Amino acid sequence: MFRTLRQDVRAVFERDPAAKNLVEVLTCYPGLHAVCMHRIAHALYRWRCFTASRLLSHLSRFLTGIEIHPGARIGEGLFIDHGSGVVIGETTEIGRNVTLYQGVTLGGTGKEKGKRHPTIGDNVVISAGAKVLGSFEIGANSRIGAGSVVLKPVPANCTVVGVPGKIVRRDGQRVDGIDLRHDQLPDPVAEALTAMQERITYLEAKVRRLEGEPRAQGEPEAEGEPRAEGETTLGDLQHPDRPQGEVLSP
């Protein structure tokens, strides 16, 4: 127990350049307080004192803003910097010397039972606001970028960024082919408007044909009518995303 506490305190000195002395670290680091209280809560949980363990975890959350379920298994040297808003779920497993920043969630997706939270390898760094959701592994020495949402396993020695998280570095080498152009996301509203415009054009042409009006310049002709080379028919009016041959039906 004291060995683990020593490792937890050492982690603060090693990973926070702002840490000045032992008294400051013991009194002013909510991440350290939360980890210490969790170690007691986890012991109670393992002795099946579930309510007592939850009460202690709840008190810890009240005092530090860090919510760690007493069932979570946490290795030595966890450093939670700043802390507020960190949530660690019941079946989470955390290896040695892991660093978490404020706003990190190690959670489930809400769909599974049993093991439903991530397993975090040794020396992993999970940056501010990142969410790791689901029962999978983050490999040792990997780094998760600030604000990322990770939904799939990450091998060891990788850097993951973005929503959903993508690997941008592996073993220190940049991973090519990753599209980080977040300014060029598809525009579903524009696509929906285009589809509606196509459908309106189709229906207007169909109504005019039913009313016996002559075909306007450039207007597609009705199905079955002969057409000049390169001309469009009503059957050609379809959303570009629909499979070839699938026609908008009136």
Ligand X SMILES: CC(C)(COP(=O)(O)OP(=O)(O)OC[C@H]1O[C@@H](n2cnc3c(N)ncnc32)[C@H](O)[C@@H]1OP(=O)(O)O)[C@@H](O)C(=O)NCCC(=O)NCCS
Q: Tell me which residues touch ligand X (CB under 6 A).
A: 82, 101, 127-128, 143, 145-147, 159, 161-162, 168-169, 180
Select 184 or 217, whichever has its Cβ closest to ligand X.
184
CA 150 – CA 173 distance, rounded (Å) = 20
Q: How far is the CB of 82 from ligand X (least distance, A)?
A: 6
CA 86 – CA 68 distance, rounded (Å) = 8
Q: How far is the CB of 162 from ligand X (least distance, A)?
A: 5
The secondary structure element, H or E, covering residue 5 is helix 2-15
Q: How far is the CB of 57 from ligand X (least distance, A)?
A: 24
Chain centroid, CA 211 distance in Å: 54
Select 123 or 194, whichever has its Cβ closest to ligand X.
123
Q: How far is the CB of 95 from ligand X (least distance, A)?
A: 18
DSSP string, 146-168: TT-EE-S-B-TTEEEETTTTEEE
Query: Could you give phi then psi for residue 2, rounded to 5 degrees?
Result: -70, -30
Select 134 or 162, whichever has its Cβ closest to ligand X.
162
Tokens for 54?
């939850």
Select 78 or 161, whichever has its Cβ closest to ligand X.
161
Select 145 or 220, whichever has its Cβ closest to ligand X.
145
Q: Interior CA angle at 100 toward 98 and 101, to 5°?
A: 155
Q: How far is the CB of 195 from ligand X (least distance, A)?
A: 31
